[in-house]
Amino acid sequence: MIKGLDRINELAKKKRETGLTNAEMVEQIVLQQDYLREIRGQVLNTISGLTVLDPLGNDVTPERVRNLKPKE
């Protein structure tokens, strides 16, 4: 599980029920930004590991995806 997700959910629930203080609103924004950064990193890692093959077995990975792969 992604770090901070429980706290994000707690703050969202509190916001719906009673509202948040200014400090809690700032904390919520920071946690949401960290969460999105983590998710985007995971997606990028997944995409950069892909190889696309045509029915004949030829590598037809788009150049843009190929450039994401770490240099070996």
Q: What is the pLDDT of residue 39?
A: 94
Domain that holds residue 52: 5-66
Residue 29 in any domain: the answer is yes
Residue 57 in any domain: the answer is yes
Query: Would you write out the chain's pLDDT as a tens digit for each of its 72 residues?
Result: 678 899 999 999 999 999 999 999 999 999 999 999 999 999 988 988 888 999 999 999 988 888 877 665
Residue 55 in any domain: the answer is yes
Residue 33 in any domain: the answer is yes
Locate 64 and state its tokens. 């843009």
Q: What is the pLDDT of residue 27?
A: 97
35 neighbors 19 (Cβ within 8 angstroms): no
Residue 21 in any domain: the answer is yes
Q: What is the pLDDT of residue 67?
A: 82
Residue 22 in any domain: the answer is yes
Q: The dihedral of CA 58, 64, 69, 72: what is its sign?
A: positive
Structural domain count, the chain: 1
Residue 71 in any domain: the answer is no
CA distance 52 to 63: 11
Q: What is the pLDDT of residue 29?
A: 96
